[in-house]
């Protein structure tokens, strides 16, 4: 009995050593070819939907961990069996180990972006696993093996010592290799280290804006470090690409899962898009303009098959189970909705959704811009209430046409004489800005001069030269787009975005 237990342990330890080395080799070559991760994501893929729903209902966002945990429990059980077989005949046990690794190798090769090199981690795992089992086996019978040619002063004590040494060495090796693999993978896949391919469909160079000509105006492109941040998180999720995947499920023809590498292997688009938060007050700062790089949402939805879908809502879920719902018809009407992986020429920073987030031009962030996204579910508004709808915010919330005065600042003091009033205006996916008008002290609206266009999904800078006379003055701005004018009717951000006209008061001396 004790010998059996010992051999079951041999099988498990050998498997763990193999997996650890496989993980280490994968971390150095291609992290998503790791036997652990390949099997893990395949399991997620192959789990029947009802079981997955059950897991999500019972374990929430831990569903993946639980599912993968079960599989590894199963693998370890088989590993124990391999050990027991080795007790009978070594080759039987070795064969079962190789079979286990072959399944991992097969799933690694089965990923959409796999190549033959992805076999390397599994190969290393097989060799290490079998070698470990062999060593452990020999350590019990030093007299029969070449591995241990210690003079046969045999006693149970000597055997126990050689077994303990072998097991100890292998356990330590597994811990070191597994730990190193994890560390290398997460280090190599830090946002700063992620190399993004060039876009297949690149954006034109952004024209020089009014940044230098109008002091105090918002830069035409918001530097990433200054980009506003709005989310429900207290602490930033630290997601490693290692183990991250994006699944599309719900009312689709077939469920699909993509790794980060899978996304990078697809044709990427690059677009200049101005993101706006529904909580932005008139004149507020929750707006930013950036260059986004990503996979068109349509590419991914088509791989899942949406021709027969009855979905009217696309629910996206982040790493922690937070949900955002996007109107299906708007996200699929031809606009540049994408799963973005890059922002302003680099990988997304953790603050803005690393490794991937959704971007849909023309919709407020709370119904479209899911950061740290892991799942896209096609469903209906009748069936699924997401985070913000549970809190009575709108489900349908196009960004309202609006404008902001950046300079002079409200309640500031301006030197008399020639100066300039300037700011930004936006009408994303509503034709872009046609005209901006400024009203000084309640007189007639005057047309401001516009900066260059960055496309209809991007904001526009504007300015108006002004000869300021001493005294108090009130300045107002409004935007006009081909599809409507900014309304003067005041609305609070709740439930579907603020409206009204910004008016700032300044003192001229």
Ligand X SMILES: Nc1nc2c(c(=O)[nH]1)N[C@H]1C(S)=C(S)[C@@H](COP(=O)(O)O)O[C@H]1N2
Q: Does 229 bind ligand X (CB under 6 A)?
A: yes
Number of residues that bind Mo ion (CB under 5 A): 5
H helix or E strand, kind and range, residue 97: helix 90-109
Q: Does 227 bind ligand X (CB under 6 A)?
A: yes
From the list Mo ion, ligand X, none, partner contacted by residue 291 (C-beta under 5 to 8 A by kind): none
Piece in contact with ligand X (CB under 6 A), picked from 173-181, 210-218, 368-376, 496-504: 368-376
Piece in contact with ligand X (CB under 6 A), picked from 51-59, 93-101, 228-236, 485-493: 228-236
Contact flags string 327-366 toward Mo ion, x per CB under 5 A: --------------------------------------xx
Q: Does 375 bind ligand X (CB under 6 A)?
A: no
Task: Give the chain's length.
Answer: 509
Q: Applying CB under 6 A, which of residues 244, 372, 458, 459 lies at the interface with ligand X?
A: 372
Q: Does 7 bind ligand X (CB under 6 A)?
A: no
Tokens of 109: 């090769």
DSSP symbols for 206-221: PPP-STTTSTTSPPSS
Contact flags string 363-382 toward Mo ion, x per CB under 5 A: --xx----------------
In this structure, the number of other CB atoms found within 10 A of the CB of residue 299 comes to 16
230-249 residues in contact with ligand X (CB under 6 A) are 230-232
Q: Are 335 and 360 in contact (CB under 8 A)?
A: yes
Distance separating alpha carbons of residues 489 and 156, to the nearest angstrom: 90
Contact flags string 320-359 toward ligand X, x per CB under 6 A: --x-----------------------------x-------
Q: Which residues have a Cβ under 8 Å from the Cβ of 489 and sit 6 or more positions away?
A: 499, 500
Q: Applying CB under 6 A, which of residues 18, 93, 209, 365 lies at the interface with ligand X?
A: 365
Q: Are 75 and 18 in contact (CB under 8 A)?
A: no
Q: Are 170 and 140 in contact (CB under 8 A)?
A: no
Q: Applying CB under 5 A, which of residues 127, 230, 394, 450 lies at the interface with Mo ion?
A: 230
Q: Applying CB under 5 A, which of residues 203, 277, 360, 438 lies at the interface with Mo ion?
A: 277
Distance separating alpha carbons of residues 97 and 136, to the nearest angstrom: 14
Closest distance to ligand X from the beta carbon of 203 (Å):
19
From the list ligand X, Mo ion, none, partner contacted by residue 97 (C-beta under 5 to 8 A by kind): none
From the list Mo ion, ligand X, none, partner contacted by residue 163 (C-beta under 5 to 8 A by kind): none
From the list Mo ion, ligand X, none, partner contacted by residue 35 (C-beta under 5 to 8 A by kind): none
Q: Does 228 bind ligand X (CB under 6 A)?
A: yes
Helix (H, G, I), strand (E, B) or coil at 451: coil
- Cα dihedral angle (349, 350, 356, 362), rounded to 10 degrees? -70
Closest distance to ligand X from the beta carbon of 376 (Å):
13
Helices H / strands E in the chain, number of each: 11, 20
Q: Are 451 and 462 in contact (CB under 8 A)?
A: yes
Q: Does 438 bind ligand X (CB under 6 A)?
A: no
DSSP symbols for 4-48: HHHHHHHHHHHHHHHHHHHHHHHHHS-GGG-HHHHHHHHHHHHS-
Quick one: which of 294, 295, 293, 289 has its CA closest to 224? Answer: 289
Distance separating alpha carbons of residues 30 and 378, to the nearest angstrom: 31
Q: Does 391 bind ligand X (CB under 6 A)?
A: no
Closest distance to ligand X from the beta carbon of 352 (Å):
4
Closest distance to ligand X from the beta carbon of 287 (Å):
9
Supply angle C-alpha 155, 161, 165, rounded to 5: 155
Q: Are 42 and 107 in contact (CB under 8 A)?
A: yes
Q: Applying CB under 6 A, which of residues 354, 366, 393, 426 lies at the interface with ligand X?
A: 366
Q: Between residues 11 and 283, which has the closer beta carbon with respect to Mo ion?
A: 283
Distance separating alpha carbons of residues 296 and 360, to the nearest angstrom: 10
Contact flags string 264-283 toward ligand X, x per CB under 6 A: -----------x-x------
Closest distance to Mo ion from the beta carbon of 279 (Å):
5
Closest distance to Mo ion from the beta carbon of 486 (Å):
19
Distance separating alpha carbons of residues 275 and 369, to the nearest angstrom: 8
Q: Are 337 and 298 in contact (CB under 8 A)?
A: yes
Closest distance to Mo ion from the beta carbon of 347 (Å):
22
Closest distance to ligand X from the beta carbon of 445 (Å):
30
Q: Does 17 bind Mo ion (CB under 5 A)?
A: no
From the list Mo ion, ligand X, none, partner contacted by residue 404 (C-beta under 5 to 8 A by kind): none
Q: Does 10 bind ligand X (CB under 6 A)?
A: no
Q: Which residues have a Cβ under 8 Å from the Cβ of 172 and sit 6 or more positions away?
A: none
- List contacts with Mo ion (CB under 5 A): 230, 277-278, 365-366
- List contacts with ligand X (CB under 6 A): 227-232, 275, 277, 318, 322, 352, 365-366, 369-372
């Amino acid at each position: 009995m004790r010998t059996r237990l010992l051999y079951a342990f041999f099988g498990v330890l050998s498997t763990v050593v193999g997996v650890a080395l496989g993980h280490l080799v994968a971390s150095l070559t291609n992290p998503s070819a790791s036997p652990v991760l390949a099997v893990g994501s395949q399991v997620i893929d192959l789990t029947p939907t009802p079981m997955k729903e059950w897991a999500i209902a019972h374990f929430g966002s831990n569903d993946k961990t639980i599912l993968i945990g079960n599989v590894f429990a199963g693998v370890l059980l088989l590993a124990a069996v391999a050990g027991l077989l080795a007790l009978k005949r070594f080759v039987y046990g070795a064969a079962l180990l190789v079979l286990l690794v072959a399944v991992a190798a097969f799933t690694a090769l089965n990923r959409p972006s796999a190549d033959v090199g992805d076999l390397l981690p599994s190969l290393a795992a097989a060799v290490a696993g079998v070698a470990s089992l062999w060593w452990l086996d020999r350590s019990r019978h030093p007299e029969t093996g070449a591995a241990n040619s210690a003079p046969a002063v045999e006693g149970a004590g000597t055997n126990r010592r050689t077994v303990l040494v072998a097991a100890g060495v292998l356990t330590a090796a597994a811990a070191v290799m597994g730990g190193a693999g994890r560390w290398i993978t997460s280090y190599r896949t830090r946002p700063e280290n992620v190399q993004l391919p060039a876009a297949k469909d690149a954006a034109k160079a952004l024209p020089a804006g009014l940044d230098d000509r109008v002091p105090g105006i918002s830069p035409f492109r918001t530097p990433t470090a200054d980009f506003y941040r709005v989310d429900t998180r207290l602490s930033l999720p630290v997601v490693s690409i290692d183990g991250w995947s994006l699944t599309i499920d719900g009312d689709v023809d077939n469920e699909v899962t993509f790794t980060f590498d899978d996304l990078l292997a697809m044709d990427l688009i690059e677009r200049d898009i101005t993101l706006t938060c529904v909580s932005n007050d008139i004149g507020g700062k929750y707006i930013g303009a950036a260059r986004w790089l990503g996979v068109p949402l349509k590419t991914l939805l088509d791989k899942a098959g949406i021709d027969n879908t009855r979905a009217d809502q696309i629910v996206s879920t982040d790493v922690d189970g937070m949900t955002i719902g996007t109107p299906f018809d708007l996200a699929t009407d031809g606009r540049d909705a994408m799963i973005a992986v890059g922002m302003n020429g680099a990988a997304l920073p953790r603050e803005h959704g690393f490794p991937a987030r959704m971007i849909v031009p023309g919709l407020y962030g709370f119904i479209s811009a899911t950061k740290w996204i892991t799942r896209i579910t096609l469903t209906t508004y009748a069936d699924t209430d997401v985070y913000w709808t549970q809190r009575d915010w709108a489900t349908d919330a196009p960004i309202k046409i609006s404008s902001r005065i950046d300079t002079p600042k409200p309640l500031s003091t301006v030197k008399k004489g020639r100066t300039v009033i300037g700011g930004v205006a936006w009408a994303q996916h509503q034709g872009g800005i046609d005209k901006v008008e400024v009203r000084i002290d309640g007189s007639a609206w005057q047309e401001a001069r516009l900066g260059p266009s960055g496309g209809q999904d991007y904001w526009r800078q504007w300015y108006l030269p002004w000869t300021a006379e001493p005294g108090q003055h009130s300045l107002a701005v409004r935007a006009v787009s081909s599809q409507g004018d900014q309304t003067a009717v005041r609305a609070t951000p709740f439930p579907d975005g603020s409206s009204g006209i910004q008016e700032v008061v300044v003192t001229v001396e």
